[in-house]
């Protein structure tokens, strides 16, 4: 909104200072600052409202240290995260940008699914919350919207450059480029680091590309959204991990949407992707600001309202800048939390069938509960997970040069 306003003021009345809103870096900084202010200032008001409405977390007794103290802590704090992401994005980004529109849809869509889950748990006193099949339907629905938009929209393109050459009548050089539709993505650590999803048609026809691509988009959104949801088990873990991931994606979006940096790094230049930096900055500001109240001991939990939407946002961000194959590294914390649950359940069922007695790999799944069972303080567990998350972020960024 402000971008269009100050562009008008700059062009029509040449207002001094209005041109600063043309810079992505300035608008990103403003978005991050505003999102921090929203979460910190209005977060307290939200906590008070949730207390009055008795929107408290009902925690199942798992025999973990400190569980009793958390009983009744307000949940649904993800509402403030969503507001702190959406409002700065609307104010400081080019809201007509297709990528920004997709991010707003993803945030609100999964935020609504998570809200329904929390609402059923809190107000309907149903500990199971929204039935799993409805969560899956919601994730599939978002995947269809994102996948079909990225595949068919004329605004979603990759720019191909031809080598510079001299014009015959002058000594100047000119660069020819073409904006083309593409199903290519980035492969980490490879010299020619592009993969076209067309290869999965195995020569059977291009008609197979859309369903294959959309199917991959759906699987990625489901995996990352559920991974973030599972990770939200102890104070500050999901919010802090998401902030690290969001900052990394902001850097990747900036270089992918900048013609100079993308040329220097020899990566795909995606016209319009630079606007995602504003969204990412608001995302990082919101998650860090939420830690003001969510760090140990938590005064509020984000609930599924926050965790499902954070995971979906991260997945869609990676897809829009064509870095989804970096998700296993970048979202390694989410991945290992997911895998720990899968391994635990699978091994328990296998051993119960084979030996008549279920056996476990971990003391408790997901993985953070395993360390709690080993009597590590949850603040130490969270800090160590953050450190691992930072290392994974560095590895992810290193893929830009290490091939």
As a whole number, mean pLDDT of residues 33-37 equals 96
Q: Is residue 285 part of a domain?
A: yes
Indicate if the pLDDT at residue 169 is higher than 60: no
pLDDT of residue 63: 64
Taking residue 167's Cβ as centre, other Cβ atoms within 10 Å add up to 9
Sorted by sequence, the CB contacts under 8 Å of residue 288 that are 6+ apart come out as 36, 239, 243
Query: With bands split at pLDDT 50, 70 and 90, how would you rate the model's confidence at 67?
Result: low
Instruction: Give the separation between CA 37 and CA 92, rounded to whole angstroms.
Output: 15
Query: With bands split at pLDDT 50, 70 and 90, how would you rate the model's confidence at 335?
Result: very high
β pairing state of 158-161 and 165-166: unpaired
Q: Is residue 108 part of a domain?
A: yes
Give the percent of the chain with pLDDT over 90.
68
Pair 389, 333: CB distance under 8 Å: yes
Q: Is residue 315 part of a domain?
A: yes
Q: Is residue 129 part of a domain?
A: yes
Number of structural domains in the chain = 1
User: Residue 261's domain spans which residues?
Assistant: 24-60+77-163+197-325
Per residue in 141-159, pLDDT tens? 999 999 999 999 999 999 8
Q: Is residue 45 part of a domain?
A: yes
Instruction: Give the separation between CA 100 and CA 107, rounded to whole angstroms.
Output: 11
Instruction: Give the separation between CA 28 and CA 363, rounded to whole angstroms.
Output: 43
Q: Is residue 155 part of a domain?
A: yes
Read off φ and ψ for residue 9, nearest 5 degrees: -65, -35
Q: What's the pTM?
A: 0.93
As a whole number, mean pLDDT of residues 8-32 equals 86
pLDDT of residue 69: 65
Q: Which two tokens stand for residue 327?
A: 């998700």
Q: Is residue 67 part of a domain?
A: no
pLDDT of residue 291: 95
Q: Is residue 170 part of a domain?
A: no
pLDDT of residue 58: 64
Pick 60 or 91 by higher pLDDT: 91
Average pLDDT of the chain to the nearest whole number: 90
Instruction: Give the separation between CA 305 and CA 296, rounded to whole angstroms.
Output: 20
pLDDT of residue 34: 96
Read off φ and ψ for residue 237, nearest 5 degrees: -70, -55
Tokens 């008001």 belong to residue: 45
């Amino acid at each position: 909104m402000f971008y269009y306003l100050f562009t008008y003021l700059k062009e029509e009345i040449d207002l001094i200072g209005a041109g600063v809103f043309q810079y992505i870096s300035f608008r990103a900084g403003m978005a991050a600052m505003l999102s921090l202010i929203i979460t910190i200032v209005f977060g307290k008001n939200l906590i008070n409202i949730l207390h009055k409405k008795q929107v408290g977390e009902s925690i199942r007794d798992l025999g973990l240290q400190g569980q009793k103290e958390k009983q009744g802590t307000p949940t649904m704090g993800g509402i403030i995260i969503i507001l702190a992401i959406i409002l700065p994005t609307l104010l400081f980004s080019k809201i007509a940008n297709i990528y920004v529109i997709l991010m707003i849809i993803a945030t609100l869509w999964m935020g609504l699914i998570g809200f329904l889950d929390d609402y059923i748990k809190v107000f309907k006193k149903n500990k199971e919350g929204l039935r799993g099949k409805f969560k899956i339907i919601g994730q599939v629905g978002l995947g269809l919207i994102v996948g079909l938009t990225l595949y068919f929209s004329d605004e979603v393109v990759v720019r191909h450059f031809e080598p510079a050459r001299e014009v015959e009548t002058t000594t100047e050089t000119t660069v020819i480029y073409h904006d083309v539709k593409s199903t290519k993505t980035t492969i980490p650590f490879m010299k020619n680091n592009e993969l076209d999803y067309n290869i999965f048609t195995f020569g059977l026809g291009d008609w197979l590309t859309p369903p294959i691509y959309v199917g991959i988009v759906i699987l990625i959104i489901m995996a990352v959204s559920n991974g973030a949801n599972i990770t939200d088990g102890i104070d500050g873990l999901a919010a802090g991990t998401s902030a690290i991931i969001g900052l990394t994606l902001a850097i990747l979006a900036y270089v992918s949407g900048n013609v100079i940096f993308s040329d220097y790094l020899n990566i795909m230049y995606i016209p319009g992707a630079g606007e995602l930096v504003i969204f990412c900055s608001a995302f990082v500001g919101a998650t860090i600001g939420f830690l003001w109240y969510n760090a140990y001991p938590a005064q509020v939990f984000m609930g599924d309202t926050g965790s499902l939407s954070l995971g979906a946002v991260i997945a869609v961000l990676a897809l829009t800048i064509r870095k989804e194959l970096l998700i296993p590294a970048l979202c390694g914390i989410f991945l290992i939390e997911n895998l720990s649950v899968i391994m635990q359940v699978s091994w328990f069922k296998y051993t119960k069938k084979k030996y008549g007695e279920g056996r476990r790999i971990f003391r408790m799944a997901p993985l953070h509960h395993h360390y709690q069972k080993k009597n590590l303080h949850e603040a130490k567990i969270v800090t160590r997970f953050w450190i691992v998350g930072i290392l994974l972020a560095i590895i992810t960024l290193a893929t830009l040069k290490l091939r």
